[in-house]
Structure 1
Amino acid sequence: MIELERPFRLADEKDAHSLADLVNFAGEGLPLHIWTGLARDDEDPWEIGRARQAEKARDGQIVVMDNGDGAVAGLTGYSIRSEPEPIGEDFPPLFRPLQELENNALESWYVNVLACYPTHRGQGIGSQLLELAERIGASEGLRRMSVIVASNNTGARRLYERHGYRQAATLPCVKATWETDTEAWVLLIKSL
């Protein structure tokens, strides 16, 4: 991990509430759908999401922007190495197109979550986080970046395209029981 300067810092467990919100924003509601499926009858799906984000924060996997009042934006990503992930018959259909697109982005730093609270949008935070992601990718010796966006998320797509990302592939969204307006997933790639 690169050295972070204020207002950026590594997330900690206290950020779990904000992190769950941010992950759900970035995932177009898919995370909440997943957490709902994991919840037992008496469990709050959001608590499942918060617990999962707290665990990732403990592992030092999430960067947040914090101006002193708590996390208002977050970045999660990882290196996709040179071998594609196997997609067997038992691979969940909902995730199949996402994994197939990731398999088209080998040897890249994958922006898994880049999100900001709606009240903080339009202030350049997304661009700052994206530049930070690119520094992380470069520090890991990778020569390209990747991200998957929902076809109907025009704001996110504009942000990435302004930063030099270009469409590399698209696949239809498998909705199953997930109620969404998303029709397709779009893989965007940028050379560093």
Structure 2
Amino acid sequence: MTSFLWGQMADPGRSAFEVGRGVIRNDEKHFTHFRNWRVAEHRGRIAGALNGYVIPEPANPAAPSPEVVRALNELKAMAAGTWYIAAAAIYPEHQGKGFGKSLLAEAESIARAAGKDRLTLMVGSFNARAHGLYRQTGFKEWDRRPFSAFPGSDEPGEWILMVKDLT
């Protein structure tokens, strides 16, 4: 999703990844800024990463949003004020080795340090493996919305908002 949105921001001749690199490196107000990332390493190499932040209260809840992000924005509005895991990924060769659980534990620590008592995330219904990991680590389903396809997207399904109480 993020690379699709970066592609929408790209000027002609500029790739989505160039836009993304610029945002991550330079836009301190954007949730994808590098300070919001945690990286898992194995033998000096990146095994995976997690991006998270506190979801702010919506500035204008009635503001229209593009169809591709409408369902996500509705779910994120429900989770306002929580520490939100926006992205989590482990390289395939490192999956099943505890790196995901380790990053989720770090996210809990960061949320608590920020004074938050809830951790939230979104997972696609088509991502059974991740959904299982989140349930195994204490997340529960909060709500769902239909997934709106976009160029390069996953198969049809639903976005699932999951929550973990940290109290």
TM-score, normalised with respect to structure 2: 0.84
Structure 1 residues without counterparts, runs of 5 or longer: 1-29
> Is the 2:47–2:99 contact (alpha carbons within 8 Å) kept by the matching residues of 1?
no
Cα 1:162/1:109, change in 2 over 3 Å: same
> Is the 1:110–1:146 contact (alpha carbons within 8 Å) kept by the matching residues of 2?
yes
What is the CA–CA distance in structure 1 between the aligned matches of 2:151 and 2:63, rounded to whole Å?
19
1:133 corresponds to which residue?
Answer: 107
Could you tell me which of 18, 22, 37 is aligned with 1:47?
Answer: 18
Q: Residues 28-177 of structure 1 correspond to what in structure 2 (within 5 A)?
A: 30-55=1-26, 56-57=33-34, 60-81=35-56, 83-175=57-149, 177=151
> Is the 1:173–1:183 contact (alpha carbons within 8 Å) kept by the matching residues of 2?
yes
Aligned pairs, number: 160
Q: How big is the shift at 1:190?
A: 0.9
TM-score, normalised with respect to structure 1: 0.74
What is the CA–CA distance in structure 2 between the aligned matches of 1:74 and 1:36, rounded to whole Å?
21
Q: Residue type matched to 1:96 in 2?
A: R
Q: How big is the shift at 1:158?
A: 0.6
What is the CA–CA distance in structure 2 between the aligned matches of 1:173 and 1:140, rounded to whole Å?
31
Q: How big is the shift at 1:47?
A: 2.1
Q: How big is the shift at 1:134?
A: 0.5
> Identity of counterpart residues, as a percentage?
29
Structure 2 residues without counterparts, runs of 5 or longer: 27-32
1:21 corresponds to which residue?
Answer: none
